[in-house]
Amino acid sequence: MIKKIQIKDLTVNYGSKDVIHSLNLDIYQNEILAIIGPANSGKSSLLKCLNRMTDFNNSARITGDILLDDESIYKDEDSTFLRRRIGMVSPLPVGLPMTIKENVTYAPRMAGCKDPAELDAIMEDCLKKAALWDEVKDRLNTLATKLSGGQQQRLTIARALSHHPEVLCLDEFSIAIDPVTTMKIEAVLNELKKNITIVMVTNVINQAKRLGDRTAMMLHGKILDLNTNERIFGGEVTDIRTKDYIEGLFG
Amino acid sequence: MEAKIATEINSAPLEWRQRKSKKPLSEKIIEGLIKGGGFSSIVFILAILFFILKEAYPFLVGAFDFKEFFFSTEWNPASVVKIKYGTFAILVGTLMVTVLSMLIAVPLGLACAFYISEFCSPRLRETYKILIEFLAAIPSVVWGFVAIMMINPLIINLFDVPIGLNILNASIILALMSLPLIVSVGEDALRAVPESYREAAEAMGATKWEVATRVLLPAAKNGLMAAALLGVGRALGETMAVLMATGHAIQIPDSIFEPGRTLTATIAAELGESPKGGEHYQALFAIGLMLFIISFIVNVSADYLIRGRRK
Amino acid sequence: MFRPSHELTKKELKEKNYQNLLSTITFFLFMPALIIIFLLFLKGYPALSWDFIFQDPINGMTAGGIFPTIVGTFWLVIISVIVSCPLGVIAAIYLSEYAADNKLNRMIRLAILNLAGVPSIVHALFGLGAFVLFLNMGTSILAASFTLAVMNLPVIITSTLESLQSVPLSYREASWNVGASKLQTIRHIVLPNSIPGILTGLVFSVGRSAGETAAILFTGVAFYLPFLPKSVFDQCMSLSMHLFTISTQVVGVPDAYPFATALVLILLILSVNSISVGLRYYFRTRRKW
């Protein structure tokens, strides 16, 4: 198996306390890695490190290294290209205050794509993947902020796909959407993993069970357990707290 | 539909997707400009200090006499016999006008802030806020004109005094001028008190009035003091209106019905006539320096009251 | 049956009285302003005519019109806005998007605060020392406009900053997330959504410059000029200064003349401010989020 991302001895703190403490993790190509764990255990911060969103936080202190395709993501000073390689879906839907079409084509346009035909193709493709096309195809020029929460979340996913990422990170993407749409998107993710790598933070343990190839359990900025789904959900854990969390005893 | 989903994410290499954008030069230049522009206010505040100091410097090291400048009532810069630069009378005039106007404006303005923030309907509040803005927009020269044309005859008739252009007139005008500032800063201070304070007090059966006096007043104390202080700053710095309203006489006023003059008005009235680079001219810059320092102190303390304590 | 006790009604009555007192105070505070504007109308309106607006002052400024003063005010306001607007917006962008929350940033904020609080006559002294003398602009429209621009800078910075910061952080993050650079995010996300606030502040500062007198006293405005300015290096007359002159310095002016001048000035500023208020309401209803 090819290692797509290698996290080496990563430590993150925002001023006082370590949010992530000397964490090591390999993510393989074309897998879905689910990360579970109670709130404040550093899951979202880990995702933010992957695409260097921490650059925008002045108080963030980071040590260690992250390799993407065996190259440090910190190699270039400019991180915009890195963010094009890694798609990010935040927990709360964000429709940018522009039309639906402009939202989905935003990333390619910012990257310098000017061809209208290509932009249209990307838009249709991404909206279909995010299971939103049928609902919005007749009103592509309305404001994205007028969409419902669930629709905006799928728009966020479409936008994250629009720059053709190699890795897609989803941070509790199903928080704002209904079960039917969640199932639709989960189907899409299963389809997408043939070509890209997916890292998924989730609070829904069943979602990790359904979707993941491997699951990692995080607590207090450390990884307690990391194994294939069969083993981890089959009770083969190294730390008893993982078992307790999966069985709903704490969290 | 599911079948149609295109999955060839990386198979078709898109030209723009592969392009490793280096930050273009134009972007670097613009970001440099932005960072430079950020400091413009510091540059200007220092430049103001520098240029005023520069013009006032020869006077400060020359004819300036501390005792005379601050404690003599004689301001005779153009005298042939004995040139004197005493600002005491002017300082007293400034102080009288400021204090009197604040005695009028602060209680009324804060009462008004309380009403607008706590008691009136949202609709009425919007109306009042627009009115406040319009009031704040009236230029000082128009206020000065009003002082001459309207308040002046009013004072003469009402109090039966020979001149209506006096300390009282200027104070009334200044009070009206600084009201919008006091009201809006005071209202901000009241709004900054968390809603939970009000709810907690009301849950215990306090009436709105009790909430206002027992809860909000102490909680917003600093902000309200800052409002008053900013009003003082406004009154001290006002020029045209007081120049027109005070009567601009160089004397220590015995009562509020006598004319006086202020620091700002002195500069405005005399700088045009004083020869550039002369001693009189430099002395006026020294007064400007004094005003700058006073306004600096007032503003920094108001900022401290609003921000400093909250942390 | 439950009846409110005597004590409670007394308390309620007291409460009512206090509220009435406050509302009366507030109402009467705004009365003078309204009366003043009403009187300006009453006394100035008869003298107001197209001739008054489009003719030169004659007979030692005791009669005629105010045309050159309007032209002068127009020059001053336009140039000062052209100078202060880009500078102010840039400074606000720096503070909102780039500056870290540190000592330097606090110093900049304090500088803005002080710049806003410096008396206008001190600005005039600065304009005289820096623009007229040091930069050798002479008493000219340019020097006066620059002085006004420095005065308006904090107003524009503050209003722009407020509107930049009203754009939610999540929008910026969403834009960064898809690989847009910081500057692209500012240009495509932050600025378009804060145009209303910027515009409001801009219009507001136009109104302020139009009425300002002290700051332009020694920097570029003349009591009287027999001709219109031909370039920015000429002096000019201004509406506000003209009002000062004819109501204090010139003897034998019929009352109606300064009243009409004051009325024109007030109308000009109030209409500019109405635009500002109107813009704010218009944009508030069309807010995209």
Give me the interface pTM, i.e. the ipTM. 0.89
A196, B10 in Cβ contact below 8 A?
yes
C19, part of any domain: no
Q: What percent of chain B has pLDDT over 70?
A: 93
Q: CA–CA distance from A50 to each of A164, A167, A170, B111, B232 (Å)?
A: 16, 10, 12, 55, 54
pLDDT band at C51 (very low <50, low <70, confident <90, very high): confident
C30, part of any domain: no
Q: What percent of chain C has pLDDT over 70?
A: 96
**Mean pLDDT within B27-47:** 91
C260, part of any domain: yes
Place of tokens 């796909």: A161
* Number of neighbouring beta carbons within 10 Å of residue C121: 30
Domain that residue C121 falls in:
65-285
Give the mean pLDDT of chain B. Answer: 86
pLDDT above 80 (res A101): yes
Paired tokens of C181: 């650079």
**Mean pLDDT within A79-96:** 87
C41, part of any domain: no
pLDDT above 50 (res B159): yes
C258, part of any domain: yes
pLDDT above 70 (res B8): no
| Predicted pLDDT at C200 | 84
| Number of CB pairs, chain A paired with chain B, less than 8 A apart | 52
| CATH classification of the domain holding C178 | 1.10.3720.10
**Mean pLDDT within C47-56:** 85
Which chain C residues are closer than 8 Å to A107 by Cβ?
178-180
Which residues, 6+ apart, have CB-to-CB distance to C87 below 8 Å? B37, B40, C149, C153, C156
| Predicted pLDDT at A75 | 84
Q: Which one is predicted more confidently, C196 or B180?
A: B180
**Mean pLDDT within A124-135:** 89
**Among A129-138, A156-165, C274-283, where is mean pLDDT lowest?**
C274-283
| Predicted pLDDT at B21 | 62
Q: Distance between CA atoms of A238 and A243, rounded to whole angstroms?
A: 9
List of domains in chain B: 84-310 (1.10.3720.10)
A154 touches chain B (CB under 8 A): no
With helix as H, strand as E and coil as C, how does chain C read? CCCCCHHHHHHHHHHHHHHHHHHHHHHHHHHHHHHHHHHHHHHHHHHCCHHHHHCCEECCCCEECCHHHHHHHHHHHHHHHHHHHHHHHHHHHHHHHHCCCCHHHHHHHHHHHHHHHCCHHHHHHHHHHHHHHHCCCCCCHHHHHHHHHHHHHHHHHHHHHHHHHCCCHHHHHHHHHCCCCHHHHHHHHHCCCCHHHHHHHHHHHHHHHHHCCHHHCCCCECCCCCCCCCCCCCCECCHHHHHHHHHHHCCCCCCHHHHHHHHHHHHHHHHHHHHHHHHHHHHHHCCCC
C38, part of any domain: no
Contact A194 B23 (CB under 8 A): no
Neighbors of chain C with 3 or more C-beta pairs under 8 Å: A, B
| Number of CB pairs, chain A paired with chain C, less than 8 A apart | 68
User: Nearest C-alpha of chain A: how many angstroms from C188?
Assistant: 9
For chain A, the domains span 3-246
Question: Structural domain tally of chain C?
Answer: 1
Q: Distance between CA atoms of C236 and B306, rounded to whole angstroms?
A: 41
- Alpha helices in chain A, H assignment, sequence order: 43-50, 80-85, 100-111, 116-129, 133-136, 149-162, 179-192, 205-211, 229-233, 240-246
| Predicted pLDDT at A55 | 84
| Predicted pLDDT at B236 | 92
**Mean pLDDT within C22-29:** 84
Give the mean pLDDT of chain C. Answer: 87
Which chain A residues are closer than 8 Å to B21 by Cβ?
78, 80-81, 111-112
The segment with the largest mean pLDDT, out of A177-191, B225-239, C92-106, is B225-239
pLDDT above 50 (res B6): no
Q: ∠C246-C247-C248 over CA atoms, to 5°?
A: 95
pLDDT band at B11 (very low <50, low <70, confident <90, very high): very low
| Predicted pLDDT at C164 | 93
Pick among A29, A68, A76, A84 to test the B interface (most B CBs inside 10 A): A84
Residue among A78, A80, A195 whose CB faces B10 most closely: A195
Question: What are the pLDDT digits (tens) for C226-275?
Answer: 888 888 888 899 999 999 998 888 887 888 889 999 999 999 998 998 88
Which chain C residues are closer than 8 Å to A88 by Cβ?
177-178
B272 touches chain C (CB under 8 A): yes
Pick among C178, C193, C283 to test the A interface (most A CBs inside 10 A): C178
The type of residue at B264 is T
Question: What are the pLDDT digits (tens) for B168-214?
Answer: 999 999 999 999 999 999 998 998 888 888 888 888 888 888 888 88
Neighbors of chain B with 3 or more C-beta pairs under 8 Å: A, C
pLDDT band at C288 (very low <50, low <70, confident <90, very high): low
pLDDT above 90 (res C120): yes
Question: What are the pLDDT digits (tens) for C61-78?
Answer: 777 888 999 999 999 999
Pick among A29, A81, A194 to test the B interface (most B CBs inside 10 A): A81
Contact B21 A80 (CB under 8 A): yes
- The CATH classification number of A3-246 equals 3.40.50.300
Q: Distance between CA atoms of C279 and C196, rounded to whole angstroms?
A: 7
DSSP 8-state secondary structure symbol assigned to residue B85 = E
Which chain A residues are closer than 8 Å to C191 by Cβ?
none
Question: What are the pLDDT digits (tens) for B108-147?
Answer: 999 999 899 888 888 888 888 888 888 888 999 999 999 9
Neighbors of chain A with 3 or more C-beta pairs under 8 Å: B, C
